Structure 1
Amino acid sequence: MTEQWRVEFDAEVTFRNGGSLSVQGFRLDSPGPELSDAETGESLVRHLGLLMVGEVAVANRRMIAEPHKGSRGVEVARPAARLVDLSHPIREGMITYPGVPGPEISDHLSREASRSVYGPGTEFNIGRITLVANTGTYVDSPFHRYQNGTDLAGLPLERLADLDAVVVRVAGDGRRAVDRAALLPFDVTGKAVLVHTGFDANWGTDAYFRDHPHLTADAADWLVSQGAALVGIDSLNIDATDGPHRPVHTTLLAAGIPVVEHLRGLEQLPASGFRFHAVPPPVVDFGTFPVRAYAVL
């Protein structure tokens, strides 16, 4: 981190309408290691929001290397944000779910064909993709489960982007069914709840389609009661798939809580204190679509 500086000084402020203000040993953030008396006086006036100032006399000024405290008018240095990609890349023919065909990727206009359309040295590719909505890492809206539910176009961005998030870690504990008890230690109100099972390590293999981790019905009930904003998992399905019922989808989507499945890389995230994004295109009368899910640390 770049070294930060503050200035310590005494000052006498006189006002045009009479009166004065004296400070001794006052400290303010400085944008750098050098600050003149005049600049120090201007910083004091700006920091205190003083009006009708006639003169500022600064004395005993000295520079101190110490972290900024947040003086008005001085930008506080912050570490650069780190972005963590949480989506699986979409490739020709890849299988996301048993029985669901993989995407077909082709050219609508190839680079070669475009040369007859544009001027010399100018070429473009316009691609075509045919895919089932449940491909790769995707988000489910209520319309996925309910005919009259909110579709992708109706989902507010506030439920999909810049969400405070928490990670529920169950990876490595042999747990297949993630129940209410596993969630109880977490404050999930208004947050994206990302369940880290580690099952994404099986992505691209037949093992990904068998004995996958999932949430239980009582976990879904608790998430709704606590006001979770979104729920995601790094597994084949948020529900158990060895039977005909889908209680977790049913409960969460009925409450308007989007579901993100097939996440990856959750081991890279802290337990909390980051923002989560998973935004699909706003397709009308569509319930599910791939997303570029990512976290901002």
Structure 2
Amino acid sequence: MTETPGSWSFTRWITKGQLEGLEIHHPDFHAKLLLQGAHLIQFAPTGEANWLWLSKTARFETGRAVRGGIPICWPWFGLPDRNPPQVREHIQTRQSHGFARTQLWQLDQLTESPETVEVSLALAIDDDMPTLWHGKARALLTFRFSADLLHIALTTTNLDSKPLALTQALHTYFPCDDIASTQLEGFDGVKFVDTLRDWELYEQCGPVTFDGEVDRIYQRPAEQQVCIHNGNRQQQITSLGSRSAVVWNPGPEKADCLSDFPAEAWRSMVCVETANALHDFRVLNSGQTHTLGAMISCRQGPASDS
């Protein structure tokens, strides 16, 4: 294993647009990770396409969130006024999805082995965010890459003497050949809040399908697996430290209003987000930690009947 830049075998510093990052060329996989937002924009085992969707018009600019990959929503998710009161009392802005995705994270540790590469990036917030958020916390985001698995773990530590309430999400964009024929398994019988229908509560019946804009927050059991069926490709997400999940596709009309989002791109992507959202918010006492994680795998070939 190696831990210092001078002895890295598979990893190198890169610049993409205005942003610095890391590129990993391992014999078994390839990955690209930006320091701004601790934002993973590419992961692909050797010989495979990117497991993540990235907009063809994404802009890599300082202070601008990148469209695609895995943006980090932290220390709150969604609109501030849609968060529980315990979370809202820390937020001092109307900005959605927190501020972590546009902050510069620091490389905390990088280790390489013949089978894996593990990268940890850290963001420490003390008293320098008074106009956005009242809180003191450290976020540590760790990616573990291997030939057949992408493992993401976001650990928050409360550095304040007061309790800290937060919501968060790993806002993962997945590619699909055609959203109209894409299905999500794993939500049957699960209740969800439909943000497009007055935030009312419904129950999922069968697989999730798409015929227009979808924006839902599912209230699911812990560590439930979700499978994205997309033709001959199935991507599986196993979540940790989470009892909620967000499913999102903008549909054609909303897509026209989004920045860095080509008009027809909604047909080729879907977001399935491991989250702590709505009633699944977490409260950390002083010194306490919580880890939100996801393990993503991919299988080629027809879906199993089992």
Normalising by structure 2, we get a TM-score of 0.25
More helix by share: 1
Larger radius of gyration: 1
Normalising by structure 1, we get a TM-score of 0.25
More strand by share: 2
